[in-house]
Amino acid sequence: MKPATLEFVKQRFAEYYQRQSLTVPSSLEQREWGFIFFDPTAEVRMRRHMAFADPLELGAYVKNLVPAHVYYSTAYYQTPSAPTMNEKHWAGADLIFDLDADQIVRGPYAVMLARVKEETEKLLAMLIDELGFARNQIRLAFSGGRGYHIHVTEIAVRGWSSQERREIVDYVCGIGLDPAAMLTPAGVETGWRRRYGEALRAHLAGLAARDPAEAASYLAGLDGIGKRTAAEFLADIGSLAAGRPEDLLKDRVVRAIAAAPDFEERLRDAGARADEPVTTDIKRLIRTPGSLHGGSGMRVVPLDIRDLAEFDPLVDAVVFGDRDVRVDLKANFTTSLLGNTYSLNAGIQNVPEALAIFLCCRGMAEIAGGA
């Protein structure tokens, strides 16, 4: 950011923090805090290893220094302000899931936000309905950028190691599934047995609908499958797909399909696309609800699970107004904000303040005067 842009954004953030408070996590005194500031010359990008005794002390710090980003630890420490991780003495951590649209889909911002919300709803259902976590022990927040954070705060999970957390995130993402276990009869198909069976049948149906020569070429390219076997399989694919799940794996072509990368990707689509390293990291810093995201200017919004369906981040996470601000846009850009769609051309123009903050924070525009 140029100096005028930096000052404009920092002033608006300062005004926000003068009238709004952060949503303070439980056990505040056991959390480590980290901050990134509006200082392009800073040698250290993040100022961390900090602790606060109470919400007033934290609030005063944020109001006085006006950070661009505010983070707290998902972990609990005996001495959170200690300068090294070993000296902090880890005392457990919440179970965290991070869903980021960047890892799911590319496209217009509104499309990315809609898609990541679908993944968040899918993950919440898996945590509650399949893994048995209580709704009142789950905290949800819009990240202020391109995704959502899910915090499981049950005391029972706090002591889990990275490996135990890996097993949970592997489950929700559909990683490392055993085809034999997934297709073994177990009464009513639920959870991953249902998803796996549906994914496999959809994959077979897709093969049956392809050009025969193309489908045969695909099958012949699988490990251990020749052209003759591929042709025989395609001739019988309809009856095979309609048969019992446990019979599918008796066919070696199906076994080869189940091990193929494109089918594994289909399984990932059936699961929830959470960021795996975030969940396995037992000393993670995560954005603070109520803070502003320095990369978008939007608020990190705490949500009740029942409100997620109606939540629109391009309206509900926007905290700035509609007075005109003059900006110099670097390239043509179209976006939705506060219920309006803006199709902007590169160059100098007036836009609502909320949009100006968004564009400047994303590095897409500079203040052109008249702010």
Q: What's the CATH code of the domain at 363?
A: 3.40.5
Q: What is the mean pLDDT of residues 227-231?
A: 90
- Give yes or no: residues 278 and 262 share one domain: no
Q: Which residues are catalytic?
A: 98, 100, 275
Pull the structure tokens for residue 312.
């629109």
- Give yes or no: residues 13 and 53 share one domain: yes
pLDDT at 371: 43
Give start and end residues of each alpha helix (H) in the chain: 3-19, 55-65, 85-88, 109-125, 155-158, 162-173, 179-182, 191-209, 212-220, 227-235, 237-241, 245-248, 252-258, 261-270, 276-280, 313-316, 353-361
Q: What is the pTM of this model?
A: 0.90
**Domain assignment present for 31:** yes
- Give yes or no: residues 167 and 72 share one domain: yes
Pull the structure tokens for residue 206.
């897709």
**Domain assignment present for 309:** yes
With 70 as the cut, is the pLDDT of residue 25 above it?
yes
- Give yes or no: residues 227 and 346 share one domain: no
- Give yes or no: residues 328 and 249 share one domain: no
- Give yes or no: residues 57 and 39 share one domain: yes
pLDDT at 44: 60
- Give yes or no: residues 82 and 96 share one domain: yes
Q: Which of 240, 255, 270 is the last residue of a domain?
A: 270
- Give yes or no: residues 26 and 86 share one domain: yes
**Domain assignment present for 3:** no
**Domain assignment present for 318:** no
- Give yes or no: residues 214 and 258 share one domain: yes
Binned at pLDDT 50, 70 and 90, residue 185 comes out as low
Percent of the chain at pLDDT exceeding 90: 72
Nearest Cα residue to 51 out of 18, 17, 69, 76: 76
**Domain assignment present for 17:** yes
> What's 62's domain CATH number?
3.90.920.10
Range of the domain at 192: 179-270
**Domain assignment present for 106:** yes
* Residue bearing tokens 């954005």: 287
Summary mean pLDDT of the chain: 92
- Give yes or no: residues 224 and 259 share one domain: yes
Look at 238 and 30; give whichever has higher pLDDT. 30
Q: What is the mean pLDDT of residues 76-95?
A: 96
**Domain assignment present for 215:** yes
Binned at pLDDT 50, 70 and 90, residue 236 comes out as confident
pLDDT at 182: 85
Find the largest Cα–Cα distance for the chain: 74
Rg (CA), the chain: 25
CB atoms within 10 A of CB 217: 13
- Give yes or no: residues 150 and 186 share one domain: no
Look at 263 and 44; give whichever has higher pLDDT. 263
pLDDT at 15: 97
- Give yes or no: residues 203 and 334 share one domain: no
Domain count, the chain: 3
**Domain assignment present for 319:** no
pLDDT at 188: 63
